[in-house]
Structure 1
Amino acid sequence: MSSNTSSFPERIELTGEGLVLRDWTEEDLAAMPELFDHPDIAYWTPIVSPFDEAASLARLDRARQLRAEGTAVLLAITLDGGAPLGEVMLRRSPEGTEIGYAVGPAHRGQGLAVRAVRVMAAYAFEELAADRVILELEAENAASVAVATKAGFALLDVPPITGEEKGRPFVLQTWGLDRL
């Protein structure tokens, strides 16, 4: 079965590295603005800003729609399956199996993004038979470059991806981690 045709399970819970990555639920809606309504997240990610109650509902709906389409999985990053501390995303794209993440400002500095990326990469290798997972980052985003490096990714020699998001031009570098 090709990695582009298999669908994602209806429910996903991944554990490892001291984390539980789980599906977003209605109970998380109240916590989402404090995670995502922040200038860093507005600047570096395509996540809508300002991020309010309506944005929380829209994100939950979108996560479910992307899962149903077999396009992407968006999971809450938690320590124990409880309160969400951020989000990790796995998306099938023409460039490859891409991982993305956002950690709430109050929860940074604990290695959550690095650990969540490693758990999600293991899922991609073991369950989706991906040969490589990628991160697409701006070189100026020092925090994300540090996450990529600590998680074992290497900068790939491929052309940068350019575009514009929220009226701001961006240039993304592609970082890769190959299955062992």
Structure 2
Amino acid sequence: MHSAPSPLPERINLSGEGLVLRDWAEDDLAAMPELFDHPDIAYWTPIVSPFDENAARARLDRARQLRKDGTTILLAITADGSASPLGEVMLRRAPEGTELGYAVGPAHRGRGLAARAVRVMAAYAFGQLGEERVVLELEAENAASVAVATKAGFGLLDVPLIEGEEKGRPYALQTWGLNRP
């Protein structure tokens, strides 16, 4: 029998790999559409599209509620903690395991931000939450995400595909895992 997961902290600020992962703030609302209103993000992620100021407000409010519920952490990826966000990294606790996810703004891609942010969040999951494994769920056709998974040290798991439909488009997600070091 599993014990209930520990509550998530009200505030989180994680540093490592040349990044600071921090809570989203009111000051970030104006920058969020530039990060998330992009065809790639609309296609590959469940993030709402088009992503405008109202979507930014809804995402910030939802991030705060999910944290209170103890299920999900959404953090801004930044270079130093005070600068504008470059993207987002997620940790979601679910019965099937702890899933990580990410989205990097189009202007900030090609710098290894996603892989570095995922490694920092995985270290948090192992060290602070006591997780034994974290997973990424991604489509095999999403070459950029497959590259992130590989670069971050994840391996493809021999488990059934996760099939569904999002935004009217069918998908089949592979599960990639990283075990506690």
- Range of TM-score over shorter length: over 0.9
- CA RMSD across the alignment: 0.9
Aligned residues: 179
- Taking structure 2 as the reference length, the TM-score comes to 0.97
What is the Cα deviation at residue 94 of structure 1?
1.8
| Structure 1 unmatched ranges of 5 or more | none
Give the equivalent residue in structure 1 for 2:130: 129
Calculate percent identity across the aligned residue pairs.
80
Give the equivalent residue in structure 1 for 2:98: 97
Deviations 1:74-104 (A, max 9, x none): 0000000121000000000122110000000
Which whole-Å CA distance do the structure 2 matches of 1:116 and 1:5 have between them? 23
Matches within 5 A, 1:69-108: 69-81=69-81, 82-108=83-109
Give the equivalent residue in structure 2 for 1:150: 151
- Taking structure 1 as the reference length, the TM-score comes to 0.98
The answer on 1:110 being equivalent to 2:119 is: no
| Structure 2 unmatched ranges of 5 or more | none
Which whole-Å CA distance do the structure 2 matches of 1:5 and 1:139 have between them? 31
Could you say if the C-alpha distance between residues 3 and 67 of structure 1 is closer, same or farther in structure 2, counting changes exceeding 3 Å? Answer: farther
Which whole-Å CA distance do the structure 2 matches of 1:4 and 1:14 have between them? 24
Deviations 1:30-56 (A, max 9, x none): 000000000000000000000000000
What is the Cα deviation at residue 4 of structure 1?
4.6
The answer on 1:46 being equivalent to 2:49 is: no
